[in-house]
Amino acid sequence: MRAQVETTPSHRKRWPILTALLASVMIITAGIIIGRPAIEASLAALLATPTQQVPINTNHPEKSPQPSSTESIFVPNATDTEEVSRDETVSPTETATEEPTLEPTPASTPIGGGVGQIAFASDREGVPQIFLMNVDSTGLQQLTNLQDGACQPAWSPDGTQLLFISPCRENREHYPGSSIWLLSLDILETSQLPTIPGGGDYDPAWDPNGERIAFTSLRDGWPQIYLMNLDGSDLQNISNGYETDYQPAWDPRGTNLLFTGVRGDVSEIMIMPETGGNEQLFSMAESQGHTHADWSKDGEFILFERQLGNIPRLVAKRFGERLKVANQVCLEGSRGSQPMAEGKWSPDTRWIVFETWPNGVEHDIAIISSNCSNYTHLTSDLYRDFDPVWRP
């Protein structure tokens, strides 16, 4: 009986405490429910913080590119389980037309963005000419028919015109005697841009605003980067040095250029402002040559070519990671040892188009998703196809 007498009062004293605790829990729960939207908004803002960019030229901050790509790139799965076979083509999200449309028309976005077309050079007519095809490899159409050949197509920002060079007898790094030409796709007429006697202008790159072009010129006796308007006015040598500079590539703001610079005996990817000077090293090539840089349309990623054992590989890294080692595109799986040259980003940065010759004979155009999960040849023949570029 002593146990019951001593225990009963203590149980009665716990009821006020339990009641207070229950009330506190109810108040806290109500507070969480009421404050939940504010908490979620704070988390969303934290997770949405964009990657910082590291621009060189800060004269135009209002044009700073906004990173938008979040897709994982460079590192594929261990096996290409989702790989498209050589005889198949990538199926676009919308049904592709059989004939290429020269004038861009509003439509659902196809694979890669833009209007779903790729220009490239091919010697299937004897000497290289410029061709156009749909991204699913249908609708092949020849755009040029110049006796001295044509190559190095470069799209205008609106996708209605192409720059290219002629003469072009084969795919090479430098083109003595060449000139830059303009092709209007609405009327398929070509015109030669102003040059000097003997030529030597190549590597055309249209500035993102459509007002100027950057190009390589031999007019000084060695490759230098020049800028000029389409009518030939305001010609400027922005390299203005005694070293070899070529293959310019604009950033999305039109304020900086990547280019290939030969320093010593090694080609490196360099960067300089549109005004020239203040050049900086972007890639660390060491004994491996780096060439053919391409800037993604969102300004976040840089794609370029690296020679590994005399075999070209595509490598890439973020713009803000200058001087860090670039990652090989498709390091693992069956594509790890395949030659990949002259790569170009798709407009949406989810795909890469490039030249390849996996059997050592056929030089074809192929595309691969940026995470290496989907791959296909767009051309497959005995001709040499090269210089692919995605239409905006």
Condensed to tens digits (0 to 9), the pLDDT of residues 240-272 reads 999 999 999 999 999 999 999 999 889 999 999
Mean pLDDT of 139-145: 97
Q: What is the 3-state secondary structure (H, E, C) of the chain?
A: CHHHHHHHHHHHHHHHHHHHHHHHHHHHHHHHHHHHHHHHHHHHHHHCCCCCCCCCCCCCHHHCCCCCCCCCCCCCCCCCCCCCCCCCCCCCCCCCCCCCCCCCCCCCCCCCCCCCEEEEEECCCCCCEEEEEECCCCCCEECCCCCCCCEEEEECCCCCEEEEEECCCCCCCCCCCCEEEEEECCCCEEEECCCCCCCCEEEEEECCCCCEEEEEECCCCCCEEEEEECCCCCCEECCCCCCEEEEEEECCCCCEEEEEEEECCEEEEEEEECCCCCCEECCCCCCCCEEEEEECCCCCEEEEEEEECCEEEEEEEEHHHCCCCCEECCCCCCCCCCCCEEEEECCCCCEEEEEECCCCCCEEEEEEECCCCCEEECCCCCCEEEEEEECC
Q: What is the pLDDT of residue 212?
A: 96
96-139: pLDDT as tens digits = 444 555 655 444 678 999 999 999 999 999 999 999 999 999 99
Residue 27 above 50 pLDDT?
A: no
For residues 227-237, average pLDDT: 95
Does residue 316 surpass a pLDDT of 80?
Answer: yes
Sorting pLDDT into bands at 50, 70 and 90, what band is 362? confident
In this prediction, residue 94 has a pLDDT band, given cuts at 50, 70 and 90, of very low
| CATH no. for 73-390 | 2.120.10.30
Give the tens place of pLDDT for each residue, 151-191: 999 999 999 999 999 999 999 999 999 999 999 999 889 99
Give domain limits for the chain.
Answer: 73-390
